[in-house]
Chain A
Amino acid sequence: MKPIETDIIIVGAGPCGLFTVFEAGLLKLKCHLIDYLPQAGGQLTEIYPKKPIYDIPGFPEILAGELVENLMKQIAPFKPGFTLGERCETISKTEDGKFKVVTNRGTEHIAPVVAIAGGLGCFEPRKPPIANLSDFEDKGVEYIIKDPEFYRNKKVVVAGGGDSALDWSIFLTNVASEVSLIHRRTEFRGAPDSVEKVMELASNKKINLITNSEVIGLSGNGHLKVVEIKHQTDGIISKEADHFVPLFGLSPKLGPIADWGLNIDKNSIEVNTFDYSTNIEGIYAIGDINTYPGKLKLILCGFHEATLMCQSAFKRIYPDKNFVLKYTTVNGIQGF
């Protein structure tokens, strides 16, 4: 496949990355966004779409999901490209001094400027602190259920108390030979329908429901065989299992960006506040992922950073052009 060519590659399609498209668009710069999540909006869409935000200038109150919808509308005239559901893995320089960013699926992107608006990083499954957990990854331990058929006639232990733990436990009763659900307390959050269904399946002995418990150990010879469960009062229970599926939600990790040669302090990328440039010329970092003296991780600060960053990006791409700041009040928006 031919590489995607653009003016600015934006790593991360959260609010800050999205607004960059607008500010770049005013300067006639084209953008392409890459995000590991399957949809735009970053944590606003993934984690708290229904939470109200109170500190967006001009909006006394707006739901996070609505803010993303508005941003998508605002940037539509500038026709941004998207590579979604893929994680940026590597960055390299091309012969003509541009950057090439390649994702985990091999999609190539080329541009003279890269803006990292990666927020907190990539959202990855939260892993329980079991000493030898990694020894059994893909040997009986999976953090994401891709194909339920994989579990046909197997003994499966699911851990967690949220919707995904409940829903998958319910679903797996159709294929697995035995389903156990391990949860820290007796109450479940998650949709009441799902909770009710799990309770019903538990009373019919279709789900082996073990509450007030957590999985503390795994053993097996090359493949998972036994899961050790610690009950708050009854002590240790050993349970035969072919698969252990811990479903504890997602948490952000900086990921491969950490190896791009950027100066990093406490999981954040150090930038110059003049234009939010990093130590590598042509790579900028804006929004929650950057750090500088006085940094505040606020969406509105990310918008400001994106705006100044685009000015610098323009000068880098067109060093000879005299640049004029565009006021949208004078000319309106001219899309591509």
Chain B
Amino acid sequence: MSLINVTIIDREGVEHKIEAPTDINMNVMELCKANDLPVEGTCGGMAMCASCHCYIESSHDIFSRSDAEEDMLDQAFFVEQNSRLGCQIKLADDLEGLTLRLAPESN
């Protein structure tokens, strides 16, 4: 199994260091759920709910968003320049050292 190191900062500011597999077609939303982090993944990864909204805090340049993701971020809140939907970030080897912060929950 191929693994990368990912750091996820939860809404209380606690850092979670996680080894993430890159060879099973997993995304960041699924990684959070698998590690019992408070991410709902309500829509099941279709970029339709923004419950996996997060901020990229490492220098990885992963800001090319699909139209669907941009559209969903239009309906989300607390959106920043480094906002992404976790479900749209596929875990891959070039994301070694990825650090992200969970966005606040919104109503």
Contact = CB atoms under 8 A, between A and B. Distances in A.
Contacts of B42: 120, 251-252
B75 interface: yes
B48 A48 contact: yes
Nearest to B107: A127
A129 B67 contact: no
Interface in A234-263: 248-249, 251-252
A249 B104 contact: no
Which of A120, A160, A251 has the most chain B CB within a 10 Å cutoff? A251
Given A128-B77, A160-B74, A189 B67 contact: yes
Contacts, number: 50
Contacts of A51: 46
Given A47-B48, A51-B46, A251-B49, A129 B106 contact: yes
Interface in B39-75: 42-44, 46, 48-49, 67, 70-71, 73-75
B75 A129 contact: no
A129 B74 contact: no
Contacts of B46: 48, 51
B77 A129 contact: yes
A297 B44 contact: yes
Contacts of B4: none
Given A129-B107, A189-B67, A183 B74 contact: yes
A77 B103 CA distance: 47
A41 interface: no
A122 to B, nearest CB: 13
A120 B40 CA distance: 11
Nearest to B71: A189
Nearest to A125: B107
A129 B106 CA distance: 7
Prevailing SS type, chain A contact patch: loop
Interface in A99-158: 120, 126-129
Contacts of B74: 160-162, 183-185, 189, 248
Given A48-B48, A126-B106, A160 B43 contact: no
A215 to B, nearest CB: 11
Contact of A126 (B70, B79, B107): B107
> Chain B interface: which size bin?
10 to 19
A333 to B, nearest CB: 31
A80 to B, nearest CB: 26
A265 interface: no
A162 B75 contact: yes
Contacts of B48: 47-48
A134 B107 CA distance: 12
B71 A129 contact: no
Given A48-B48, A184-B73, A189-B70, A129 B78 contact: yes
B27 to A, nearest CB: 16
Contacts of A248: 74-77
Nearest to B72: A249
B106 A249 contact: no
B70 A129 contact: no
B85 to A, nearest CB: 14
A330 to B, nearest CB: 36
B29 to A, nearest CB: 13
A48 B68 CA distance: 12
A95 interface: no
Contacts of A162: 71, 74-75
8 contacts: A126-B107, A127-B106, A127-B107, A129-B104, A160-B75, A161-B75, A248-B77, A251-B107
Pairs of residues from A and B, 4 with the lowest C-beta to C-beta distance, nearest first: A161-B74, A189-B71, A249-B75, A248-B75
Given A189-B67, A251-B49, 18 more contacts: A43-B43, A48-B43, A48-B46, A126-B77, A127-B106, A127-B107, A128-B77, A129-B77, A129-B106, A161-B71, A161-B74, A184-B79, A185-B70, A187-B70, A189-B74, A248-B76, A248-B77, A251-B42
